């Protein structure tokens, strides 16, 4: 009997909790999970064939790939890994999420551009490399959030109201060759919403309540998850955001702003431990069921 082998691309050798859950869900369906790091994958090709090799010249023999992480690295390294994933897709290996969908979601500017292009509501945003423009945006928005283009778990994100402090921060970021991404801070009830989309379904949603005195709502920073009802408005927005970025599955971060919902970010490789705790929904089971169905097409 042929056993389906599903690769799981990681940033490090040791699988974390979501990856262990995915492997368990694969094994429960008689499949095998094969973990690997993209930095360890080599490509040999000519005009007739492409060969993908892991260390010790082991071929990457998989029926599909779950892309959890491209990994850290230089611009050249990140670019080559994305191209490697695209080569795998051209060779007939289905990647979930596809390389460029994952790339869009990992780049906060690209995410916002694609959401806005598809009419998905987002916070007022300014992107610039010019200090004067960034300071002017701070004065215009009054209360701002400064974000790195890439990053997760709330790292490198600052909230500022004082233009002088913002000027100092922007100068530091410029010294580090960082682009300035500035958004108006959205007043919320000390929480946001994470909706989890798999395929064309919202499988569950949770509120993430910030710690007392905090404004960041990342579970990794101590925010508390609580089940969020999936209203028709929430479902439409989450599915629209996922479709705009052409995702197979995603965590959609949503803010409650002045009696309407806006999308702040899209996560291509979300952790669902908080969702599972709050709702009882096992996203790993949903993801693997979706992947196996897609591979049969």
For 132, counting Cβ atoms within 10 Å of its Cβ (0-12 exposed, 13-18 middle, 19+ buried), the class is exposed
185 token code pair: 């801070």
Residue 26 burial (C-beta neighbours within 10 Å; 0-12, 13-18, 19+): buried
Calpha distance 78→269 (Å, rounded): 16
Overall pTM > 0.85: yes
Helix 232-244 and helix 108-117, axial crossing angle in degrees, nearest 10: 110
Q: Can you give the pLDDT at residue 66?
A: 98
Cis preceding-peptide flag for 135 (omega within 30 of 0): no
Judge contact between 67 and 269, C-beta under 8 A.
yes
Q: Which residues of the chain have pLDDT under 70?
A: 1, 151-154
Burial bucket for residue 238 (CB in 10 Å: 0-12, 13-18, 19+)? buried
Pair 202, 286: CB distance under 8 Å: no
Q: Cα–Cα distances in Å, from 235 out to 132, 138, 155?
A: 39, 32, 28
- The span from the CA of 32 to the CA of 75, in Å, is 32
Both tokens of 140, joined, read 């215009």
Give the closest residue to 242 by CA, choosing from 82, 90, 102, 83.
Answer: 102
Q: Are residues 65 and 88 in contact, defined by beta-carbon separation less than 8 angstroms?
A: yes
Provide DSSP, 169-222.
HHHHHHHTT--EEEEEPPP-SSEEEEEEEETTEEEEEEEEEPPTT-----GGGT
Domains of the chain, first to last: 5-96 (3.40.50.20), 105-119+188-286 (3.30.470.20), 125-184 (3.30.1490.20)
Q: How many whole angstroms from its chain centre is CA 262?
A: 17
Q: Angle at which helices 99-106 and 108-117 pack, to 10 degrees?
A: 100
- 217: which 2 tokens? 């709502």
Answer yes or no: are the C-beta atoms of 233 and 165 closer than 8 Å: no
Q: Are strands 64-67 and 50-54 parallel, antiparallel or unpaired?
A: unpaired
* Rounded CA separation 127/182 (Å): 6
Specify the pLDDT at position 150. 80
Candidates 250, 214, 205; CA nearest to 232 is: 205
Q: How far apart are CA 145 and CA 131, in angstroms?
A: 15
pLDDT score of 72: 84
- Predicted pLDDT at 153: 61
């Amino acid at each position: 009997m042929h056993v389906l082998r599903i690769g799981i691309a990681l940033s490090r050798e040791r699988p974390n909790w979501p990856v262990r859950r995915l492997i368990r869900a694969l094994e429960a369906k008689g499949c095998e999970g094969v973990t690997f790091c993209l930095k360890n994958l080599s490509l040999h090709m000519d005009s007739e064939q492409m060969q993908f090799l892991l260390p010790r010249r082991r071929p990457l023999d998989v029926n599909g790939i779950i892309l959890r992480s491209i990994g850290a690295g230089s611009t050249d390294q990140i670019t080559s890994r994305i191209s490697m994933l695209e080569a795998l897709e051209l060779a007939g290996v289905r990647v979930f999420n596809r390389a460029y969908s994952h790339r869009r979601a990992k780049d906060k500017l690209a995410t916002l551009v694609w959401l806005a292009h598809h009419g998905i509501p987002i916070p007022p945003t300014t992107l610039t490399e010019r200090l004067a423009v960034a300071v002017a945006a701070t004065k215009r928005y009054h209360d701002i959030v400064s974000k790195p283009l890439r990053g997760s778990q709330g790292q490198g994100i600052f909230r500022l109201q004082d233009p002088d402090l913002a000027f100092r921060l922007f100068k530091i970021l410029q010294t580090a060759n960082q682009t300035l991404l500035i958004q108006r801070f959205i007043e919320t009830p000390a929480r946001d919403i994470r909706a989890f989309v798999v395929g064309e379904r919202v499988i569950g949603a949770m509120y993430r309540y910030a710690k007392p005195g905090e404004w960041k709502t990342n579970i990794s920073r101590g925010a508390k998850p609580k089940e969020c009802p999936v209203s028709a408005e929430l479902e439409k927005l989450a599915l629209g955001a996922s479709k705009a970025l052409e995702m197979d599955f995603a965590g959609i971060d949503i803010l409650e702003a002045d009696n309407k919902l806006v999308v702040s970010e899209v996560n291509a490789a979300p952790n669902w431990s908080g969702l599972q705790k709050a709702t009882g929904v096992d996203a790993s089971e949903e993801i693997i069921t979706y992947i196996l169905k897609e591979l049969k097409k």
